[in-house]
Structure formats: C-alpha cells, structure tokens
Amino acid sequence: MTRRVTFKFRLYTAADTQNSVQALANLTSLCHEHLEGRFEIEVVDVFREPKRALADGIRMTPTLVKLSPAPIQKIVGTLCQTQRVLQMLGLDIIAA
C-alpha cells in the first residue's frame, strides 16, 4: 500500500461564517499535521456558487468532501473533533 497517495478535499463553505472559517482552519491544520505534502483543498463558497452547491447536493455548510482516494466521503460540520474526523477519513491508522 503506497503511502504517497494524494488526498483531494473540497470544502463547501458559507462565505466567512464562523462555522466555515473554523472548518477550514481545522481541516488545514489536520492536513498539515497528518498529510503534509500530499493534500489538495478546494474551497467552494456556496454564496458565490450557489448553483454548484445545489447541483452537488450540498445542504448544510460547512461540508467537507473527500474526493480521493475512494470512497468519496462527506463530513458535515466544523471538523472540531480531530480524532473522530481522522477516523472517519480512515486516517487514524496513519496517525497512529
């Protein structure tokens, strides 16, 4: 199992609302800590691109979508519980 796989994330945010800002901060620090050098984060501001959010089925913000590696996963919220987020993303093994 290669350890050099790149994680692609897309974070849907609601402009600079508190929850969204927190989520982006939490995600960034988590990535830097556990996936240094092998992650990409795309931020989609739902306020700017509502059509896209609608088409992508995004209802609640912030929503984090892990596009790759498969499977695609969605996590809603500020991502404040780091351990739990890692577990959800299947990253806890790496972290250990």
Partner 1 sequence: MKSARLGPTSILAKAPTGIAGFDAITEGGLPSGRTTLLLGGPGSGKTLFALQFLVHGARDLDEPGIFVAFEETPARLLANFEGFGWKLRQLRRKALYFMDATPMPDLELSGDFDLGGMLAALGAQAKQMKARRIVFDALDIVLALLPGASARRREIYRLHDWLLSLGLTGIITAKAEGDSASSHDAHPYSIMHFMVDCAVILNHRVTHGVSQRNLRVQKYRGSSFDENESPFVIGRNGFDVAVANTLGRAELNVTSERVGSGVKRLDTMLGGGYYRGASVLITGFPGTAKTTLSSAFAAAACRRGERTAIVSFDSDGAEVIRNLASVGIQLDRHVKSGCLRIISARTITGSAETLLVRIKALTKEHKARCLVIDPVSTLFRAGNELTAHGVAERLIDWAKADCITLVCTSLLDDMSGRTDAGTQLQISSLADTWIHLNYLVQAGERNRGMSIIKSRGTGHSNQVRELILSDAGVTLADTYTAGGEVLMGTLRWEKEKAERVAADIAEVAAKLKRVRLDAEEAVLEVQAKSLQTELLAKQVEKTLLTRTTESRELELSRGRTRIRELRGADRALTGRK
Considering beta carbons, is residue 5 or 15 the nearer one to partner 1? Answer: 15
5 touches partner 1 (CB under 8 A): no
Calculate the alpha carbon distances from 83 to 26, 34, 42 in Å: 12, 11, 22
46 touches partner 1 (CB under 8 A): yes
Query: Is the alpha carbon torsion for 63, 58, 65, 88 positive or negative?
Result: positive
Considering beta carbons, is residue 37 or 71 the nearer one to partner 1? Answer: 71
Cα–Cα distance, 51 to 48 (Å, whole number): 9
Cα–Cα distance, 64 to 27 (Å, whole number): 9
31 touches partner 1 (CB under 8 A): no
54 touches partner 1 (CB under 8 A): yes
Considering beta carbons, is residue 6 or 83 the nearer one to partner 1? Answer: 83
Report phi then psi at 43, rounded to 5. -105, 125
The residues that touch partner 1, with contacts defined as CB under 8 A, are: 12-15, 17, 19-20, 22-23, 26, 46-47, 50-51, 53-54, 57-63, 73-81, 84-85, 88
